[in-house]
Structure 1
Amino acid sequence: MAEVVVTGFGVRTAFGRGADAIRRGVFGGVPSFAPTTRFDTGPYRTPNAATTGSDKPDSQRDVLGDCADEAVEMAGFTARDDTAVLVGTSGDFATLTRFWRGEAGVDVADTVPAHLVDLLAARIGAAGQRLAFTNACVASASAIIHACGLIASGRLESAVCGGAYLVEEEVFAKFDSGRALSRDGVVRPFSVDRSGMLLGDGAAVVVLESASAARRRGARPLATVAGWGAASDAFHVSRPHPQGAGLAAAAQRALRRAGDPDGLLVDYVNAHGTATKFNDPAETQGLHEVFGTRADQVPVSSTKSTTGHLLEAAGIVEFVITLLALTDGVLPPTANFTEADPSCDLDYVPNTARDADVRRALNVNAAFGGFNTALVLERP
């Protein structure tokens, strides 16, 4: 099986473009939430979201393209005829809203997930297979997992994976009606007084290659994707399995593929950590199942406490954050942490970043319908 490496990335959140913005905001433990002015938030339980502050945000077409430019430049990468492009997105609802309102110059095709993939492939000159993943909060992580499988099996040598979500009223209203949004506009994962999540702008693109292909062209790997796994517990249409069964199964599969079935080499976990009533205890139980008696020794943090929930982009943006934890030797904190919920008893890196020698990290995500993903990143 071929080894899969990351050679470049581009990222955008409410903190801005690039790795340094992530370092200042996410690793600085600075939440990016503020009242959004993109639509009337009067009918909703909170006005807050983690947005770039623009009343009229860029389209997903634009942010994916910007991130792709950054990623291929960092990697020094030129797409091949067989380079695959895989993107996690449910389409651009903000563009659809503008189309419904009759705004000039709006291309309704940009609302179609597969079209966004085609646009990204054309931008970087990739002629391989193109796939859109629409499975909610694990969409972009699923894109990475699929790409890793293709590269590891020798079916292709390179893939460009992306994911994007930009805050807009359609999805904001749905989460508000489900009482999932934080009542006080603050996200407190794993804390006893948590009251929900908040949405955020996010996009990222990563370049994945076989290690041999990267070596041939003299590229320096940023990290190795040592393992990946996915599982569905199908417990409930929106709630996770109370014991985190699906998340544990996905993580165990990823760790077995990485040659570390008991997770003994894992130095850090970037958790899904939505700060909702059901997710945090379930995820904690799942991590206990994965690490056993060592669970309380493995640092875990939720970076959604600063970025907000990026939905389809969550997996890939948190993948980039996890990669930075490896390369910088710093664990991002769980911001806004107050007092641990009695059912949440792990080391959540509260409020302040922590220096650490991180050689291997686990990034987990979960989605409605019981789908779960896990990725193991290793420092080269």
Structure 2
Amino acid sequence: MSENNRVVITGLGTVNPIGLDVASSWKNAAAGISGIGELTRVNKEDFPMKTSAEVQDFEPSDFIDKKDARKMDRFTQFAVASAKMALEDADYTITEENAEHVGVWIGAGIGGMETYEQQFHKFNEKGYKRVSPFFVPMMIPDMASGQVSIVTGAKGINSCSVTACASGTNSIGDAFKVIQRGDAEVMITGGAEAPITNMAVAGFCSAKAVTTNEDPASASRPFDKNRDGFVMGEGAGILILESLESAKNRGAHIYAEIVGYGATGDAYHLTAPAPEGEGAVRSMKQAVEDAGLQPEDIQYVNAHGTSTGYNDEYETTALKSVFGSHAYHLMVSSTKSMTGHLLGAAGAVEAVFTLKAMEDSIVPPTINYEEPDPACDLDYVPNEQRQAEIKAALSNSLGFGGHNATLVFKKYEA
């Protein structure tokens, strides 16, 4: 294969707070249906955070042998389930002949926090001999990629980007470059996270990053004047990326082409974004340039849109810096208004929604948008979906540590 292979998306899979597969998730996202409810995975009386976006009714045994599932943290179970669905959607079978040309690159921001806490309690109560021999391999963030490789038989490059809330987007971008440069034909890529645990909730509460709004119906309100923090969520999103040559040879369904990737660092602060979204500006410019497009070629932006004060304001400023007057013609929405913030999985699930939006010509809304913020003055597709053709779309993810990542997708043209 040549150095500049075209890369397309041929399969999608997801487990998230608004659905256990792509069809139900997208139906709910397009309809503006929220998956945010009361915090139940930990005792909400112990925290100022009272709401969360939890995955409901997920049965690991639907996808994974029960014995194997017990050796996986919840975030890895989400990843394996989503990867299996994505491969099935792509109608792609990994065989001895092609296994070495199929890679896995799945990000996670935190990894197996639930496993860490459970095993720490065992250690404290009963000593080291009662700590599971699977503790470390269940906890480490790269194990989503590792287990997906083991379960599917993919033997190509196997990696994991850990860039906080940008992990899923960075992983997809990194996987895109693997195929583009000819090091794999197919990549199973995305992000997974299951962070609703005592210590993770405690940490985000102490950092004052999460909402204290007790009403699940209005807790996540990106770009709204009364936003006060994000809602923690969990889940996974997986894309099957494939060289155009491979996809055409087997007559695969093509959702869209991935054409641009930007990744930058703020070099500014542990948790706060750089003033005016300076790092996000460079990431978006880099991605649009990498795609060979002009800013005015983009119709839709799936924003990072966390429902926090600085993020939403600075992302808006960054969009205006990158797109100029065209920023006011963009459709910008935050699906986090419905899913909450899935941390390392956020960008991957949002990539799924962006691709479905392009396929169905439906822009998902930003729900709970009630009172405009003068600092956030773009078209956020408030409260109701919009019918619109999308020829090119951009998806942003911005993470603690100053990580900025941007993907550009384009309608496939032969």
Same fold per superposition (TM over 0.5) = yes
Deviations 1:26-76 (A, max 9, x none): 221122211122211213112210102469997222211111111111111
Q: 75-84 or 278-287: which moved more? A: 75-84
Partner residue of 2:244?
211
Deviations 1:293-316 (A, max 9, x none): 111110101111110000000111
User: Separation in 1 of the partners of 2:335 and 2:85?
Assistant: 22
Offset at residue 11 of structure 1 (A): 0.5
TM-score scaled to structure 1, two decimals?
0.95
Name the SS of the counterpart of 1:26 in structure 2: helix
Partner residue of 1:140?
168
Please list every run of 5 or more consecutive structure 1 residues that lacks an aligned counterpart in the other structure.
none
1:183 aligns with 2:212: yes
Q: 2:203 aligns with which of 152, 174, 178?
A: 174
Partner residue of 1:330?
362
User: Separation in 2 of the partners of 1:85 and 1:313?
Assistant: 15
1:18 aligns with 2:18: no
Partner residue of 1:107?
134
Partner residue of 1:195?
228
Q: Which amino acid aligns with 2:5?
A: A
User: Separation in 1 of the partners of 2:230 and 2:320?
Assistant: 23
**Residues 1-380 of structure 1 correspond to what in structure 2 (within 5 A)?**
1-53=4-56, 59-79=74-94, 80-89=99-108, 90-102=110-122, 107-108=134-135, 109-166=137-194, 167-185=196-214, 186-261=219-294, 263-380=295-412
Please list every run of 5 or more consecutive structure 2 residues that lacks an aligned counterpart in the other structure.
61-72, 123-129
8 Å Cα contact 1:268-1:300 kept in structure 2: yes
Deviations 1:167-212 (A, max 9, x none): 2222111111111111214111111111111111120111111101
| Number of residue pairs matched by the alignment | 379
Offset at residue 122 of structure 1 (A): 1.0
Q: Which amino acid aligns with 1:164?
A: A
Offset at residue 101 of structure 1 (A): 3.6
User: Separation in 1 of the partners of 2:404 and 2:7?
Assistant: 21
8 Å Cα contact 1:14-1:52 kept in structure 2: yes
Runs of 4 or more consecutive aligned structure 1 residues displaced over 3 Å after TM superposition? 53-58, 101-107
8 Å Cα contact 1:140-1:163 kept in structure 2: yes
Q: Which amino acid aligns with 1:63?
A: F
User: Structure 1's 351 and 145: CA in aligned 2 closer, same or farther, altered over 3 A?
Assistant: same
Name the SS of the counterpart of 2:13 in structure 1: strand
User: Structure 1's 181 and 161: CA in aligned 2 closer, same or farther, altered over 3 A?
Assistant: same
User: Separation in 2 of the partners of 1:54 and 1:18?
Assistant: 12
8 Å Cα contact 2:257-2:409 kept in structure 1: yes
Deviations 1:217-267 (A, max 9, x none): 221211100111111122211111121111111111111111113x11111
Root-mean-square deviation over aligned CA pairs: 1.9
Offset at residue 105 of structure 1 (A): 7.8
User: Separation in 1 of the partners of 2:206 and 2:58?
Assistant: 23
Name the SS of the counterpart of 2:101 in structure 1: coil
User: Structure 1's 55 and 61: CA in aligned 2 closer, same or farther, altered over 3 A?
Assistant: closer
User: Separation in 1 of the partners of 2:222 and 2:83?
Assistant: 31
User: Separation in 2 of the partners of 1:116 and 1:100?
Assistant: 21
Offset at residue 25 of structure 1 (A): 2.4
User: Structure 1's 359 and 333: CA in aligned 2 closer, same or farther, altered over 3 A?
Assistant: same
The percent identity for this pair of structures is: 35
Name the SS of the counterpart of 2:383 in structure 1: coil
User: Structure 1's 320 and 146: CA in aligned 2 closer, same or farther, altered over 3 A?
Assistant: same
Q: Which amino acid aligns with 2:202?
A: A
TM-score scaled to structure 2, two decimals?
0.88
User: Separation in 2 of the partners of 1:118 and 1:182?
Assistant: 34
Q: Which amino acid aligns with 1:172?
A: V
User: Separation in 2 of the partners of 1:88 and 1:157?
Assistant: 20
User: Separation in 2 of the partners of 1:377 and 1:368?
Assistant: 25
